[in-house]
Amino acid sequence: MASSSNVVLVSALVPLGATLLTLGSLTLTTTIVGLALVTPLFVIFSPVLVPALLLIAVPVAVAGFLTSGALGITSLSSFAWLATFLRPRQAQKHTALQAQQETR
């Protein structure tokens, strides 16, 4: 039987992790679509826009990829923390139950 603190913990961290994964995937998708839409313009207007590409578009694309990765890593680490937080308590309960059964 799950304790109320575990239920509250799961109900708080699962939506948080899902939200972070969603934001990460939306950021990655937006970055890729933006690069796909802007690349033909950079090719057509390359003599004028190459300096702009180096100064504006590359840092924005890098920031998008890094933000997407950071949100994904944060989400996965919250899920991992949740798993390690809940697992030892279940193992301790199982060990205590075995010790009680052995003493009987």
pTM listed for this prediction: 0.56
pLDDT of residue 17 exceeding 60, the answer is yes
pLDDT of residue 31 exceeding 80, the answer is yes
3: left (phi over 0), alpha (psi -120 to 50) or beta: beta
Whether 5 is in a domain gets the answer: no
Above pLDDT 70, what percent of the chain? 86
CA 36 to chain centre: 24
Whether 71 is in a domain gets the answer: yes
In the chain, the number of structural domains is 1
For the purposes of burial, counting CB atoms within 10 Å of the CB of 24, is it exposed (0-12), middle (13-18) or buried (19 or more)?
buried
Whether 76 is in a domain gets the answer: yes
pLDDT of residue 29 exceeding 80, the answer is yes
Whether 82 is in a domain gets the answer: yes
Whether 2 is in a domain gets the answer: no
Whether 3 is in a domain gets the answer: no
pLDDT at 33: 92
Domain of residue 33 covers 10-100
Whether 1 is in a domain gets the answer: no
